Structure 1
Amino acid sequence: MSYITPLFFGFISAFIGIIPPGLINMTAAKVNHKEGKRNALWFVFGATLVICVQVFFAILFAKIISHRPDLVTLLREIGFCIFTALTVYFLWIAKTPKGKPKKFKNKSKSKRFFLGMLLSALNFFPIPYYVFVSISLASYHLFSFDTTSILIFVNGVLVGSFLVFYIYISFFNKIENKRDYIMKNMNTIIGSITGLISIITLLNIINYYW
């Protein structure tokens, strides 16, 4: 298998998983706005480091359960339910966030680094997300669980995560006056993506039972 493949899918999965406005990327944007790019980048370094560790252990866990077809099918069914619920939420329930962003006091870059690590460690979404992603890719023979592929995939996640965070801290100030409009449309985009994933997962489940 080409080493480009795990790198590419690591990058894409990280980009899709982090691009929706969330606690970590929005905090990075706000730190940049209040304290400057240097502190924001240290925050991103801390967050990205923890994400890479989470992804590595998520894939190791996926490798273990990949030998159990029944568990793989169960995870697909759970994933289908989760992504369907997310689709319904983002397309029909989620509303545009209101309220002004909180102000930050100026902090040292080391404190921002550890804050990034803390917030990232408190976010458990990457673990089930990358378990589901890696097993799904492996089922299509687009990913293998050998050590080299895993490390390359993690590096792809590293690059993709950092790029998304950098986009947030670089462009958030320029579009802050349009934030509500963008986030409202972002819900539609996210809902469409999760809806597509739900359909693909459902087809896989039907194909397995038939």
Structure 2
Amino acid sequence: MNYITPLFFGFISAFIGIIPPGLINMTAAKVNHKEGKRNALWFVFGAVLIICVQVFFSILFAKVINRRPDLVTLLREIGFGIFSTLTVYFLWLAKKPKDKTKKYTQNSKANRFFQGMLLSSLNFFPIPYYVFVSITLASYQLFSFEKTTILIFVNGVLIGSFLVFYLYISFFNKIENKRDFIMKNMNTIIGCITGLVSIITLINIIKYYW
């Protein structure tokens, strides 16, 4: 297999999964604003470390599931139901999030590193996300569950995740100026993303039964 392919898709999947404003990337940006880039980067290192571990075990789990085509189809159907429900919720039912500004105190690099690990550990979204991504890519023969390919994919995720976090850190001032807009439209942004995933999943289900 061309090893550039898993690196590319690891990078793209991480970029798409992390680019929407969320707790981790916005916290990294605010740490940079309050404490400087060095502490923000240590926070990012901690977060990315946990993300890579989550991705690795997600793919191992996906490898087991991929051996059972019936389970793959079932998971796609369950995934479609979950993402469709989330789309309806975020676009029409959820209340607009309130902007709660928190005071930041100066922390050491080690504290920020472990805080990044903690916040990333509490975020379980990467696990089902990368299970879904790896199985979908494998179904199109764009990914294989070989050890080398998995490690290269994880490295792609590492690069993509770090780049997104770094962009949030570097362009925080622009993000800060548009914070009100982002907060008001957060549910719409998330709803559009889950809606897109729902459509892709539905297409795969239809193709399977067709």
**What secondary structure is seen at the aligned counterpart in 2 of 1:89?**
helix
- The aligned counterpart of 2:196 is 196
Q: What are the ranges of 5 or more consecutive residues in structure 2 without an aligned counterpart?
A: none
Q: Does 1:90 align with 2:90?
A: yes
How many angstroms does 1:69 deviate by? 0.8
Q: Which residue of 2 aligns with 1:161?
A: 161
Q: Deviations over 1:59-97 (max 9, x none)?
A: 011111100111111110121112212322333334543
* Equivalences for residues 1-210 of structure 1 within 5 A: 1-185=1-185, 187-210=187-210
The 2-side partners of 1:93 and 1:8 are apart by 36
Contact 1:83 1:197 in 2 (8 A): yes
Alignment RMSD: 1.6
Alignment partners' CA distance in 1, 2:169 and 2:44: 9
Normalized against structure 2, the TM-score is what?
0.93
Q: Which deviations, in whole Å up to 9, do the C-alpha atoms of 1:157-188 show, x marking residues without a partner? A: 00110111111111122331321213444544
Offset at residue 2 of structure 1 (A) = 1.3
The AA in structure 2 aligned to 1:12 is I
State the distance in 2 between where 1:151 and 1:112 align: 27
Query: In 2, Cα distance between the equivalents of 1:95 and 1:21?
Result: 17
Unaligned 5+ segments in structure 1 are none
**Structure 1 CA distance for aligned equivalents of residues 122 and 134 of structure 2:** 22
Q: What is the number of residues matched between the two proteins?
A: 210
C-alpha separation between the residues in 2 aligned to 1:149 and 1:177?
41
* Amino acid aligned to 2:42: W
- Maintained 8 Å contact 2:98/2:183: no
Q: Secondary structure at the residue paired with 1:102?
A: coil
The worse-fitting range, judged by mean Cα deviation, of 87-96 and 50-59 is 87-96
Distance 2:196 2:206 in 1: 15
Distance across 2 between alignment mates of 1:93 and 1:155:
38
Q: Give the percent of matched residue pairs that are identical in Structure 1 and Structure 2.
A: 84
Aligned-partner Cα distance in 2 for 1:138–1:175:
36
Distance verdict in 2 for CA 1:114–1:147, change over 3 Å: same
* Cα distance in 2 between the residues matched to 1:82 and 1:127: 14
Equivalent residue letter for 1:26:
M
